[in-house]
A and B are shown apart, each in its own frame.
Chain A
Amino acid sequence: MRNRTRTVVTAVAAFVLLGALWEITKLVLPAAGVTVGDIRLLPRTDDAAMPHVWTVLARLAEPEVAGAAVARPVWLAVLAGAAFTLVLAVGGLALGGVLGALLALVMQRFALVERATLPYVVASQTVPLIAIAPLVAGWGGKIAIFGWSWQPWASVMVISSYLAFFPIAVGVLRGLGSPARADLELFRAMAAGWWTTLLRLRMPASVPYVVPAVRLAAAAAVVGAIVAEISTGTRGGIGRLIIEYAQSATADPSRTYAAILGAVVLGLVVAAVVGLLDVGLRRYRGSVR
């Protein structure tokens, strides 16, 4: 319990420290930045480029558009956007997780599949996300599954799962292959079949490999969802919101930072959920030997 408290305190302290660094930077560096000749070495630190921390926080409470008839406050817009993206990222993580785990399972079962597939799995991650996004977005209007026509948010989820899939596939594959030879022979001596060995040995033994993989995949799913929203032009999420706000950043810089803050909080929420998974599976974290 004391350990848990310390973690929370450290996390909050890190946030405060970051805010303090921001303000110190503003204080110490010249507002126009540092330039040598025509080359800018350090960015501008004036209020338009780096608004005060308190200005950003205050902006959250103000309406999205000043003077609009029906204006929701910025925090609500950011929260709604973050929630929308969260759902898509979690969906992407689930989809990528299931596909990655299934592929790892097949690769574990059939060495030939591993040799044939693994290079492509690795290669798949070298294709830039930006290149795939328009392709997947193009499915809209062309694909209908059982009468359900492809929606833009589905493209975002697929792109997000594309990023989440890789760490899970690799982590599960390593984890399933982690039991020592002696343990496998013990199961063989007990005449345990492939399924029983999977369930009672390989899967429990893979937990220390899978939990960090899920952590990586969750972060990748969030980044994937945000980038996919931007590159497919899907409305409603935090990614799109950042872009929208950034377009008027010269007039209203603190609003952009408010949206970025929302994206950071989103990432933290996902990380915390994965942390809970870690706590729940603690008994499997010991070494086998």
Chain B
Amino acid sequence: MKGTSAVELVGVDKDFGEVNALSGIELTIGGGEFVSLIGPSGCGKSTLLRVVADLEQPSAGTVTVGGKPPRQARVDQEYGIAFQQAGLLEWRTVAENVELPLHVHGMAKPQRQARAAELLELVGLADFAGSRPSQLSGGMQQRVAIARALAPSPRLLLMDEPFGALDEMTRERMQAELLRIAGETGAAVLFVTHSIPEAVVLSDRVVVMSPRPGRITEIVTGRRPAVGKAAELDPDDVEDVRESSAFFAAITAVREALRKGHEA
């Protein structure tokens, strides 16, 4: 599947009645690439993610996800999605929550149980397979939600402020986790966030947006730590990135882009 981009947006507009939420969006996300969307509230970053997910229809322009129209991509489970709220179903165990997308698509029980066990191993929650979601901390719940999004082995992960409700320490640990998981699965990620350091440390590219109308003002190169397909990502690598001068330079660049967008 080399050469196929994960997401392609060409001239995408989105209007909600009179409100022009997105205007002239041009963006291509390569296979395995990590792209963050950042900008003030109302800049349309969540709307953009929802357009990719086929939860909203664009008013104009074309959207391609994994080489397909968004609707087809959704039906084929080309992407997995995670929101700010983990949104786990309380009547299902942790493992059954991870199985949900596979269950919905009629996969046989032994296969989906095996897959859930594999994914819980990946997110480090193998010991909690039989627990109820309410027994887990916020960070753990969010890891279950990520495992659930990864269940159908999508090549694209859509994440709408998934760590927004977590405390700072948990958040940094989750970022390192996510980098490792993205590296191991090779999935492309479209990541919506409010946090500049989060966007910089995670991303290959940080897409800076501005409101009224929502548009892309600048794209800054992020500081995602390099990780080989086979090699495990060391949390210390992420720590090194956070303390590097290149990291601070990128943060400054994003901040200036945001300010420029705000003044414009």
Contacts and interface: CB of A to CB of B under 8 A. Distances in A.
Interface in B161-179: none
Given A188-B55, A286-B132, A286-B134, A200 B90 contact: no
A284 B91 contact: yes
- Residue from B75, B100, B104, B132 having most chain A Cβ neighbours under 10 A: B104
A190 B104 contact: yes
Contacts of B105: 190-191
A288 B89 contact: yes
A200 B103 contact: yes
A283 B131 CA distance: 12
Contacts of B101: 190
A196 B105 CA distance: 9
A187 interface: yes
A287 B90 contact: yes
B81 A189 contact: yes
Interface in A197-221: 200-201, 204, 207
B87 A182 contact: yes
B208 interface: no
Given A200-B103, A288-B90, A186 B81 contact: yes
A289 interface: yes
B53 interface: yes
Contact of A186 (B75, B83, B103, B132): B83
A196 B104 contact: yes
Contact count band on A: 20 to 34
B87 A180 contact: yes
Contact of A182 (B54, B85, B100, B104): B85
A38 B90 CA distance: 63
A288 B90 CA distance: 5
A201 B103 CA distance: 12
Interface string B67-104: 00000001111010101010101110000000011011
Contacts of A288: 87, 89-90
A186 B87 contact: yes
Contact of A204 (B87, B89, B103, B132): B89
B253 to A, nearest CB: 33
Contact of A192 (B55, B76, B104): B104
Contact of A189 (B74, B85, B132): B74
A187 B53 contact: no
A286 B104 contact: no
Contact of A191 (B77, B89, B90): B77
A124 B103 CA distance: 41
Contact of B77 (A183, A190, A201, A283): A190
- Residue from B53, B81, B91, B101 having most chain A Cβ neighbours under 10 A: B91
A192 B90 CA distance: 19
B74 A191 contact: yes
A286 B100 contact: no
Contact of A185 (B55, B90, B91, B132): B55
B136 to A, nearest CB: 13
Given A188-B55, A189-B53, A191-B74, A182 B83 contact: yes
Nearest to B83: A182
Contacts of A188: 55, 74
Interface string B88-124: 0111000000001101110000000000000000000
Given A183-B89, A191-B76, A288-B90, 4 more contacts: A189-B54, A189-B74, A190-B100, A191-B75
The 6 closest A-B pairs by CB, nearest first: A286-B90, A191-B75, A192-B104, A189-B81, A284-B91, A190-B101
Interface of A: 180, 182-183, 185-192, 196, 200-201, 204, 207, 283-284, 286-289
17 contacts: A180-B87, A183-B89, A189-B54, A189-B55, A190-B77, A190-B100, A190-B101, A190-B105, A191-B77, A191-B105, A192-B104, A196-B104, A201-B89, A286-B90, A286-B132, A286-B134, A288-B87
